[in-house]
Amino acid sequence: MTRVWVVRSRYGRYTDDFVRGGYVAAGWLPRHDLTECDSKEAIVLLYRRANPHQTPRQVGAHAGQIAAFALGIGTGDYVITPRSDTEWLAHGRVRGGSMYYAPRADDGCPFPHRWRVEWAADPLRRWDLSIPFQNTLKAHMSVFRVSHAEEFLLSIAANPPEPRPPDFYRPVLGRILELDTGELQDLVGALLEVLGFEETGEDPSACGGGAGVACVIGELGVANLASVRLLVQIRRDGDGGEVEESVTGTFAEPSPPAARVR
């Protein structure tokens, strides 16, 4: 499987050095040779010793990015590095074996941990990528793997086929499946309010109760003559992780017409 990584260089400060030197680099733990670390646990221990005042959360976050660079990237992977002007993205392919340690390199870049990269002659324009891909590039991490590998490969192909439209359905559905029952109720209630329903609220008893059942009721006024009472029930399938939705509606007694003013 072809993997694509983003490696930042302090807002593009060292991108030109990367391209000229034929490498991509990281600057964490500059006094330690990370080629000697063969596991994430070893990197966590090394980083904790070098930064004893950081919280466990900080240690885990930084050590995770170091491990991604030192242990995750491999020969044949692609690397994207934003340039300082933010519009253009340098990109290339990792070549030549494993990561190496260059603490005394005199090429303008102080980062000692490096992978050899064959950089493409023409950079990518950020704005030519899909909006989801552009949003991914905004992640606040120095090293991370890109999930839009197929789009990237199509973008750098000599004669790329017509790209498929981004699949927005699956990411949204995946996020919804992560919500608990209370969050599902809040989401459905907010959607009903956007559609013009009033007096929305949760009533689990109306759906028979039970674990994993979200039940929301809303009323919609119709031309000040009647109101529609809508019951939305969402039940989560515990085995397959699917969400099953059922909607029922009832008409309430007509409201008296508004008085006319002559």
pLDDT of residue 90: 95
According to DSSP, the residues that pair with 233 across neighbouring strands are: 215, 246
193 Cα distance to chain centroid: 28
Pairing type for strands 23-26 and 113-119 reads antiparallel
What predicted TM-score, i.e. pTM, was given to this entire model?
Answer: 0.59
pLDDT of residue 147: 86
| Residue ranges, the chain, pLDDT below 70 | 158-168, 199-201, 203-212, 223, 236-262
Q: Is 79 helix (H, G, I), strand (E, B) or coil?
A: strand
pLDDT of residue 105: 87
pLDDT of residue 167: 66
Q: Is 174 helix (H, G, I), strand (E, B) or coil?
A: helix
pLDDT digits (tens, 9 = 90+) for 27-66: 999 999 999 999 999 999 999 999 999 999 999 999 999 9
